[in-house]
Structure 1
Amino acid sequence: MIGAEPARLPADQLAKAVRNDSITIPTPGELFAALEKPGRPNWVGQMRGPISTSYKNRAQIALNLGSLIADGFIAVEAKDSQQVKNIGTDIIKMAKALGVSENVLSRGNSINEFAENDEWDALQEELEATQNEVKASMQSHRDQDLIILVSVGGWVRGTQVVSAAVMQNYDERAAKVLRQPALVSFIQSKMNDISPDVRDVPLIKEVSGQLPGIEKLVTFPVGKAPTADEVRKVNEAVGKIMSQIQAKESK
């Protein structure tokens, strides 16, 4: 489990995200912290409108819950307290749909309270803690598949935002954050670990099927930053997955 305090990973080391001797999928907070190094992005410009909270398929709910937690981090970075509260409410709705614990629901109250008082550092920690509570609750229900999907949803949305921010204000140091071949390979292996019945869900097949292409797009020589055009291709590829994750008609 990733702790409540977001790790500050140097951009070049993000792909390694090593915990003991195994890679972990970085949280949106970690992705955004790495992006902060070269200069402050336009976080307000990265916010999106509200998404549906009434998906029927548990796998799709988990992916969208992960992406929604990423939206929470964006709203905190943008210092938009109303948006933080709205997203906090939606996180709780989706968490309830997945049957997660009361602990997660109390986190929602804390998020509202901190947002009311513009306590941004506390909100960062609370979002990390909320994500951990969601995963811990799933762990206690032996819902390993959903834990993986929450992490993947957060990574897809986080990478969409990071690549969009780099495109807006291209900077070689910031662009290096997107060099993640080992990480994408690891995500593919985790998706393959999902139980066959969930793996057969059309949306999960779609997401898994696009990961090899994304791995190629985020593979650059060590020390070389991707060009602005390469960053755009990464953004388009993860944006396509994000659209599929969000689509109401996904099975």
Structure 2
Amino acid sequence: MVRTINEAAHEARRNAILGAAQRAIETRGYEQMAIADLVGELHISSGAFYHYFDSKPALLEALVERIGNQIEQLVLPIVHDPTAGALTKLQRFFTALDHWKHAHRHFVLASLRVWYGDENVVVRHKLYIARLKRFTPWLEEMIRQGIEEGVLTTPYPDQAARMVISLFEDLGYATAEILCAQDHSPDDLPRLARIIEACADGLERLLGAPAGSIPQAERSDLLEWLVPPTQSREDV
């Protein structure tokens, strides 16, 4: 019983640190986030912080992992919905991911530059492998269902599932190249839209899905990513 209480307290403290880190990244950015500020906000000692995370990069890695767990809870009901067809599941799956990123836009933008920096290449690769292990079985399940229903035609559902993850990985690099540029602006909208359209087209061809069956973000939503968080679209 005591052990259970201690484990709950440990998890609560760890989540409190991660929550404070996410708020700091969203408001100040990763580079400006100081461990001393987190310690002060939570009224804990530096020793207590380092008991949970041995470095600032380790904190970022844990935060991204927690986000992955949150996304898992978001998409699993879609994957395992017994009433939905495969195309409907895939559409809802990709839409849910897009909505999550849009809802957490400030955090994504604030951490984008450091996340795609050379110093995080090892962590980024580890999490890519983790995403492959986590997402591939779900995608394969939906793809196989689509093949059985006759709406998808790929003869390689297992490899196609892995390639979907790889395609999104490349999409992340391509969009980061635009959003991390010092001079990016709303004028980059056509280029960003073309990248998204190419990704959707590639997904449809990879899966053998009907043209136009993979949802794409509206241009008005894409514009949000090109406008600084402190600036509204009306100011553009």
**TM-score, length-scaled by structure 1:** 0.26
Name which one, 1 or 2, has greater alpha-carbon Rg: 2
Tell me which protein shows more helix as a share of its residues: 2
TM-score if structure 2 supplies the norm length?
A: 0.28
Structure ranking higher on relative contact order (CA contacts 8 Å, 6+ apart): 1
